[in-house]
């Protein structure tokens, strides 16, 4: 426990948002809750978080919920079915005919995975001459896994950093294609390109394993180095929207972009910052979200993008990147709309 408390003190996180764990009997009993208990807990709380985030996104978008054509949802902290996306869609009044996708197994990369899938749905609809208005949302209750982590640490004397990093939350947005009347009027960002890649031979470096008491995180010490190297190797491909480089030796400048980097931990942020030569100003949104909310898994990078849009003295072009099990690296290029 002393080692875990030190990890917590050294994390660089001041506050984290969590559901009301302090008074909930399920998470304050002598034994850790079972997987069945956690399933029920998620269904009681996750939909409320998601609906709140979605209602805010729909209100800012300005369209009508009946006009939503697709739903893309993601979570790393639940595996039951029917998925929580159905409960959220029903409560919001989304048409039963809206096409739905629920993503699982993508961990902290999930926010950008959901954005990528939504973009592909938009392009597919446009190819068919149809408008697309995709409601994207991510919801995580990472705090419910703390008891599982603490039990493992007490038995093995090998604490993982998870309990010192993760928080709860939800984030939502609406992504539209060019055939949707609201796409330009209410736009905040335009998504212009994206990349995804699995780093070979890293499937054991970051993983969530299912146990009888919830999910148990595995996080290797070399993850920050792997993440930094992957971002550096894929950056040029990402920022070249048309796939044609000006010349073979062309090297884009990372300093010309604001960065929405997944706040996966102090060492991850530092490693990417040093590898790409980024300033603290370029990472101001990442550092703010990490310091005030910790790592909320798939929600985190979307929270960074949300905070970044309200910061002054920024670049019009934005690079977003996140990391998930596999080890998977997701990157996206966006442009601010004025």
Q: What are phi and psi of 169, to 5 degrees?
A: 165, 175
Residues in the chain, overall count: 338
Per DSSP bridges, beta strands 189-198 and 206-211 are unpaired
CA dist 211 to 93, 107, 149, Å?
A: 35, 16, 11
Element (DSSP H or E) covering residue 185: helix 182-185
Quote the CA–CA distance of 206 and 119 in Å, as a whole number.
Answer: 26
Quote the CA–CA distance of 77 and 75 in Å, as a whole number.
Answer: 6
Given the residues 54, 108, 142, 321, the one annotated as active site: 108
Asked if 148 is an active-site residue, the reply is: no
- Find, among 72, 85, 76, the residue nearest to 145 by Cα: 76
Q: Residues with Cβ < 8 Å from 96, sequence gap 6 or more? A: none
Half-sphere exposure of 307 (CA within 13 A, CB side): 24
Q: Three-state SS for 335?
A: strand
- Find, among 241, 267, 255, the residue nearest to 332 by Cα: 241
Quote the CA–CA distance of 68 and 58 in Å, as a whole number.
Answer: 10
> Which amino acids are annotated catalytic?
108
């Amino acid at each position: 426990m002393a080692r875990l408390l030190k990890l917590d003190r050294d994390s660089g996180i001041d506050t984290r948002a969590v559901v009301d764990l302090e008074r909930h009997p399920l998470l304050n009993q002598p034994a850790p809750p079972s997987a069945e208990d956690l399933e029920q807990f998620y269904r009681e709380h996750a939909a409320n978080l998601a609906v709140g985030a979605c209602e805010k996104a729909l209100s800012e978008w300005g369209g009508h919920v009946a006009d939503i054509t697709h739903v893309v949802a993601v979570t790393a902290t639940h595996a039951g079915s029917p998925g929580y996306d159905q409960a959220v869609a029903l409560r919001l009044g989304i048409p039963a005919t809206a096409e739905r996708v629920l993503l699982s197994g993508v961990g902290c990369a999930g926010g950008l995975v959901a954005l990528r899938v939504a973009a592909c749905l938009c392009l597919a609809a446009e190819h068919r001459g149809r408008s697309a208005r995709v409601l994207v949302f991510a919801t995580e209750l990472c705090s419910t896994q703390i008891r599982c982590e603490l039990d493992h640490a007490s038995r093995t004397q090998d604490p993982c950093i998870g309990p010192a990093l993760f928080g709860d939350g939800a984030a939502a947005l609406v992504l539209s294609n060019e055939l949707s009347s609201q796409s330009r009027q209410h736009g905040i960002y335009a998504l212009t390109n994206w990349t995804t890649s699995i780093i070979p031979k890293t499937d054991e470096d970051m993983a969530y394993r299912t146990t009888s008491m919830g999910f148990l995180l595995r996080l290797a010490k070399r993850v920050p180095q792997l993440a930094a190297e992957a971002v550096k190797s894929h950056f040029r491909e990402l920022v070249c929207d048309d796939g044609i480089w000006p010349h073979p030796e062309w090297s884009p400048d990372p300093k010309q972009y604001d960065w929405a980097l997944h706040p996966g931990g102090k060492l991850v942020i530092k490693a990417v910052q040093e590898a790409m030569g980024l300033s603290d100003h370029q990472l101001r949104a990442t550092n703010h979200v990490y310091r005030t909310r910790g790592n909320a898994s798939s929600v985190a990078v979307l929270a960074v993008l949300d905070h970044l849009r309200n910061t002054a003295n920024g670049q019009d072009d934005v690079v977003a990147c996140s990391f998930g099990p596999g080890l998977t690296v997701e990157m996206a290029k966006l442009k601010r709309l004025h």
